[in-house]
Amino acid sequence: MEVTLLVEATENAFRILGKAREHAIGVLDTAVQLTAEETRFFEEKRGQLLFTGAQRRKTRFQNFVGTTFILFAFWILLSGKFDAFHLTLGAMCCVLVAYLFHDLLFANVRVGDMRIVVARFIAYIPWLIQQIVLSNFHVAFLVLRRKMPIDPQIIEYKTKLETDISTVALANSITLTPGTITMDIKDGVFYVHALDQKVAEDLNAGEMEDRVAHIFMEADHLYVQDVLDAARIYGSLRV
């Protein structure tokens, strides 16, 4: 009785596995097709743009316009005067500065992602403030006790972040949290000075890093790229 049940269960499991395999093959086939189409489309487009040399000029123009608008918003925030004379002065200054420094503000940034990055960054700030307050109390208790049970140490922290802007965001978040200071970044390894064991463990848990990666869409990006790579490999194997 039990043996028949077991056999039945095994058969069921095999059937489910087979279905899953079919599904997976279907999904991967679609992915292969999509990848091929996308690659072809992008290569055609890039070929056209490279042919005319327009890609670089277009990025430069986008950078110029974006920088001008951000700087003009900053000017209005500073000035707070809305008469025509001061607004014209501000517009002239912003266009001049954007012309001189258009390559500084947006280096290595994909333009379409900017809105999501800004929204996620704003959502990240309250969590950071909460972390800062919590570890502030922790460090205050440590320091104000009579024995002062601190245990200073330098920990090496390997990061998975890729771009320099996300690395800098993580480093500054670590420095802003009391008790930890980023001393140096070399080849993707953070050298962090931690005040005691608990703070170091909090850092090694890696929640902050995950959140920063989420802001700059590195985790999502890697995930999508992994699927596409797998689809490509699968396609070449099948053919």
Positions in the binding site for another protein (CB under 8 A): 67, 71, 74-75, 78-81, 86, 89-90, 93-94, 97-98, 100-101, 104-105, 107-108, 162-165, 167-168, 171-172, 182, 184-188
Residues near 235 by Cβ (< 8 Å), separated by ≥ 6?
28, 32, 35, 36
Nearer to another protein, 49 or 76 (CB): 76
What's the min distance (Å) between Cβ of 85 and another protein? 9
Nearer to another protein, 171 or 231 (CB): 171
What number of other Cβ atoms are within 10 A of residue 229's Cβ?
Answer: 11
Structure tokens at 87: 């607004």
Nearer to another protein, 135 or 182 (CB): 182
Please state the φ and ψ torsions of residue 23, each to the nearest 5 degrees: -55, -45
User: d(Cα 45, Cα 55) in Å, to the nearest integer?
Assistant: 10
Q: What is the sign of the dihedral through the CA atoms of 88, 68, 168 and 125? A: positive
Nearer to another protein, 74 or 223 (CB): 74
User: d(Cα 93, Cα 141) in Å, to the nearest integer?
Assistant: 50
What's the min distance (Å) between Cβ of 192 and another protein? 13
Nearer to another protein, 94 or 231 (CB): 94
What's the min distance (Å) between Cβ of 40 and another protein? 27
Q: What's the full length of the chain, in residues?
A: 239
C-beta of residue 67 within 8 angstroms of C-beta of residue 98: yes
What's the min distance (Å) between Cβ of 171 and another protein? 5
What's the min distance (Å) between Cβ of 197 and another protein? 24
C-beta of residue 179 within 8 angstroms of C-beta of residue 195: yes
Structure tokens at 218: 């590195």
Nearer to another protein, 155 or 181 (CB): 181
What's the min distance (Å) between Cβ of 71 and another protein? 5
By CB atoms closer than 10 A (0-12, 13-18, 19+), residue 199 is buried
